[in-house]
């Protein structure tokens, strides 16, 4: 059996490769640059906020509605934060381009570590998508036209959605019509050797349950996998491996590594009409 690529790294090297904050010392700078655009999106689009999809305090989502009569196609975004941080309110900036094209946007919170383990985080994300599928029609959305995107840990949650048997929840097997995963981690195992594990508390058993490089996808929708060219090579390799995994199971994923962008500023692409992200979303929405 081939040893994983992280075997042999020193503790410092492993932290650099698998903790994105270590590879981008001023990782908050990208968020600060997006703050004005984020505030403007909240002010102009006036989303309906904190709609409950479950009983937990973080079981909430925000809806950005386009003008005109529905039902509108729906795009659900899962934020990153290594399953332990961040909030949906910081990602309003991604809604304007989609809303202008008649797409309803949902940004969603989910249970975070260490309050729960990764089992609870994934379960809450799946519950959020299930709520969208069953209830979005009451809000003007079209449950037959749901696409997903996610960043970092959020990309892992999109992969969880692709690996879920939605028929067991009374939903169509083709619930997800398209997916974009950006700078994702798909096998949680290497995170066990980072300082982040103090919060996420991964064990080998939990990591295996949510290793989407090993679990077969059940969706057959168009799927795209992206990473930034300035991310550490091991982090980029996760996207390459996951795309290969999807291909082995009959999907034809697109794989894009965008030059000159790191783990945090790659999200700026949601605001750039010439970007790879918006080019992919345009294709998914077709």
> What is the predicted pLDDT for the residue at 69?
87
151 in the Ramachandran plot: left (φ > 0), alpha (ψ -120 to 50) or beta? beta
Q: Which of 188, 239, 268 is nearest to 19 (CA)?
A: 188
Find the radius of gyration of the CA atoms of the chain: 18
Rounded CA gap, 202 and 181, in Å?
22
Rounded CA gap, 68 and 94, in Å?
20
> What is the predicted pLDDT for the residue at 1?
65
Angle between helices 233-248 and 11-18 (to 10 degrees): 60
- pTM equals 0.98
> What is the predicted pLDDT for the residue at 165?
98
**Domain ranges, ordered by start, for the chain:** 11-285
Counting residues of the chain whose pLDDT is more than 90, the rounded percentage is: 98
What's the CA angle centered on 256, arms 10 and 152, to 5 degrees? 55
Q: Which residues contact 282 (CB under 8 A, 6 or more apart)?
A: none
Tokens of 236: 């980029």
Rounded CA gap, 133 and 277, in Å?
24
- Domain 11-285, CATH 3.10.129.10 — does that match? no
- Which residues in the chain come in under a pLDDT of 50? none
> What is the predicted pLDDT for the residue at 84?
98
Rounded CA gap, 74 and 284, in Å?
11
């Amino acid at each position: 059996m081939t040893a994983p690529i992280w075997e042999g790294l020193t503790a410092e090297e492993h932290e650099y490769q698998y903790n994105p904050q270590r590879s981008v010392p001023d990782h908050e700078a990208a968020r600060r640059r997006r703050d004005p655009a984020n505030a403007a999106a909240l002010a102009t689009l006036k989303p309906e906020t904190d709609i409950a999809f479950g009983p937990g305090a973080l079981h909430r989502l925000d809806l950005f509605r386009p003008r005109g009569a529905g039902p509108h196609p729906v795009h659900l975004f899962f934020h990153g934060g290594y399953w332990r941080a961040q909030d949906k309110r910081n990602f309003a900036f991604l809604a304007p381009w989609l809303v202008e094209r008649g797409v309803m946007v949902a940004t969603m919170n989910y249970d975070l570590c260490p309050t729960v383990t990764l089992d609870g985080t994934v379960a809450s994300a799946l519950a959020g998508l299930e709520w969208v599928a069953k209830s979005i029609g009451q809000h003007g959305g079209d449950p037959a036209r749901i696409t997903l995107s996610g960043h970092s840990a959020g990309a892992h949650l999109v992969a969880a959605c692709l690996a879920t048997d939605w028929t067991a929840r009374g939903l169509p097997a083709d619930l997800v019509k398209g997916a974009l995963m950006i700078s994702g981690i798909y096998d949680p195992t290497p995170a066990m050797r980072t300082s982040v594990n103090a919060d996420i508390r991964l064990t080998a058993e939990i990591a295996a349950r949510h290793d989407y490089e090993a679990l077969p996808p059940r969706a057959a929708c168009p799927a795209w996998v992206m990473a930034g060219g300035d991310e550490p090579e091991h982090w980029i390799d996760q996207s390459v491996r996951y795309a290969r995994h999807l291909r082995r199971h009959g999907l034809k994923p697109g794989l894009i590594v965008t030059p000159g962008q790191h783990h945090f500023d790659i999200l700026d692409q949601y605001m750039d009409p010439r970007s790879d992200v918006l080019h992919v979303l345009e294709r998914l929405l077709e």
